[in-house]
A = this chain, B = another copy of it.
């Protein structure tokens, strides 16, 4: 890269690892299913508040200027030479699901703090400000909307709407922000960054299968969630001839099988389809199911092929309904278009990885991330870090080794450094 100023910086891997291990003690619990120690740190709970305070303390120790916005997003700035220029932003989240691990989200936040420490240790001054952030309620487990803090700061979700969201006990986001002392004074629509890079564990097997620690993320897949309800007719399993049946369970099962066929066919590109919920009520061995409700989760890195998949599915279900004499009803639960990440930022990441001698693969993200929200405001990309056990996540089994975490954070550090010195 012609714009490379100075040598490569290296983060302190042991310090990063110690920080990751320290934070995972906040909200730790004994997980019965795995026999492991997990992390339960739902957004805006006492555990989340304690983890937030710990991170703020680390930020202050690193000499950063900390500020909190009205949705509880926290930003910490390392000033550059020209403070009038837009900053380079790093970030992710520190809230977890109910059965979480030590890496999801936290690697990007604690990695970002480690980048700041490494820049300090090397005595490096940047042209632009560098910032590290953590965003509120990325998981969506407590208040029902994922990427909440980043969606608010990106202007997609109005602050007022976000404040009024409630948890299962009826507590609002606003009440909980006030309670834990993270209802900051800063406007939720922050100054636009020059670039945003999020380092995150992959949560999938692609990197490990390719034998690399690093993934350069090209974008986030399109996501479609629909609920399909099938109304058939209950009847006696023994006395009802096959041709006289209106079997809601069979129709639902046929949809599940067809979805897999669609994925395998290649007709819809890299379509991934999942039926995670399949409900026919209590059920009786000798009664034909009257009603079935299934959810259909479709992912596709290509919006056109996603639409084609949805159209094919709708036509298939309509034909099936006629064939079996059942009524069907569709309900749209969610739909997001594919979010492509910035090619320029990806280019900086790939050159940086090459310069560090770290092999990588390019990949689409199958999961949602704060980066897909921030991408609406500034050039954005992500660095993925490989995980073990097929990249399993949202469980205490989630694990990325110190070398992978260190390599990912080295890529983050040097890419940020290069961007922060771009005039």
Contact A287 B283 (CB under 8 A): no
Judge whether A235 is part of the interface by a CB distance below 8 angstroms.
Answer: yes
Contact in complex: A236, B285 (CB < 8 Å): no
In the A-B complex, the 4 residue pairs with the smallest Cβ-Cβ separation, listed nearest first, are A277-B283, A204-B239, A238-B366, A253-B256
Partner of A285, one of B286, B333, B395: B333
Whether the pair B241, A204 counts as a contact (CB closer than 8 A) is yes
CB contact under 8 A between A257 and B254, given known A203-B239, A278-B289, A288-B274: yes
Are B236 and A249 in contact, CB atoms less than 8 angstroms apart?
no
CB pair A288 B276 closer than 8 Å: yes
In the complex, chain B residues whose CB is within 8 Å of the CB of A136 = none
Report A245-270 residues with CB < 8 Å from chain B CB: 247, 249-250, 252-254, 256-257, 260, 263-264
Extra 11 A-B pairs, beta carbons < 8 Å, given A237-B272, A242-B260, A275-B289:
A205-B244, A235-B392, A236-B366, A238-B366, A239-B367, A250-B275, A276-B284, A276-B289, A277-B283, A277-B284, A278-B283
Give 21 pairs: A residue, B residue, CB < 8 Å, sorted on A: A205-B240, A205-B241, A206-B241, A225-B285, A236-B367, A236-B393, A237-B276, A237-B299, A237-B366, A240-B272, A242-B263, A242-B264, A244-B390, A247-B260, A254-B257, A257-B257, A274-B286, A276-B288, A278-B283, A285-B295, A285-B297
Q: How far is the CA of A275 from the CA of B274 in the complex (A)?
A: 21
Please provide the chain A residues from 377 to 403 with a CB less than 8 Å away from any CB of chain B in the complex.
Answer: 390-395
A279 at the A/B interface (Cβ < 8 Å)?
A: yes
Residues of B within 8 A of A278 (CB): 249, 252-253, 278, 280, 283, 289, 292
Bound Cα distance A366, B235 (Å): 12
- Establish whether residues A239 and B202, one from each chain, have CB atoms under 8 Å apart when the complex forms: yes
- Whether B279 pairs with A283 at a CB distance below 8 angstroms is yes
CB distance from A322 to the nearest CB of B (A): 16
Task: Find the B residue at minimum CB distance from A282.
Answer: B277
* A236-B367, A286-B297, A289-B278 known; A256+B250 contact, CB < 8 A: yes
Instruction: For A237, list chain B residues within 8 Å (CB).
Output: 272, 274, 276, 297, 299, 366
The closest CB in chain B to the CB of A259 belongs to B250
* A117 shortest CB reach to chain B, Å: 30
B276 and A295 form a contact (CB under 8 A)? no
Nearest CB in chain B to that of A258: its residue: B257
Q: Chain B: which residue is nearest A221 at the CB level?
A: B238
A254 contacts which chain B residues (CB < 8 A)? 253, 256-257
Contact pattern, A 349-375, Cβ under 8 Å of B = 1, otherwise 0: 000000000000000011110000000
For the complex, is A223 an interface residue (Cβ under 8 Å from B)? yes
Whether A257 pairs with B263 at a CB distance below 8 angstroms is: no
**Which residues on B sit within 8 Å (CB–CB) of A292?**
278
Q: Given A253-B253, A286-B297, A391–B239 Cβ distance below 8 Å?
A: yes
In the bound complex, CA of A285 to CA of B365 (Å): 18
Cβ of B264 and Cβ of A257 under 8 Å apart?
Answer: no
Give chain B nearest CB distance to A204 CB in angstroms. 3
A227's closest neighbor in chain B, by CB?
A: B285
Residue numbers in B under 8 Å from A394 (CB-CB) = 236
Inter-subunit contact B287/A236 (CB<8 Å): no
The proximity string for A residues 180-223 relative to B, scoring 1 for CB distances below 8 Å and 0 otherwise, is 00000000000000000000001111100000000000000101
Q: Given B225, B276, B392, which contacts A283 in the complex, CB threshold below 8 Å?
A: B276
**What's the least CB distance linking A348 to chain B, in Å?**
24
Task: Flag if B366 contacts A272 (CB, 8 Å).
Answer: no
Q: Which residue from chain B places its CB closest to the CB of A297 in the assembled complex?
A: B237
Give A257 to B263 CA distance when docked, in angstroms.
18
For residue A365, which residues in chain B have a CB less than 8 angstroms away from its CB? 238-239
Whether B288 contacts A236 by the Cβ 8 Å rule is no
Q: Is the CB of A241 within 8 A of B272?
A: yes
On whether the beta carbons of B275 and A253 are closer than 8 Å, the reply is yes
CB A168 to nearest CB in B, in angstroms, measures 14
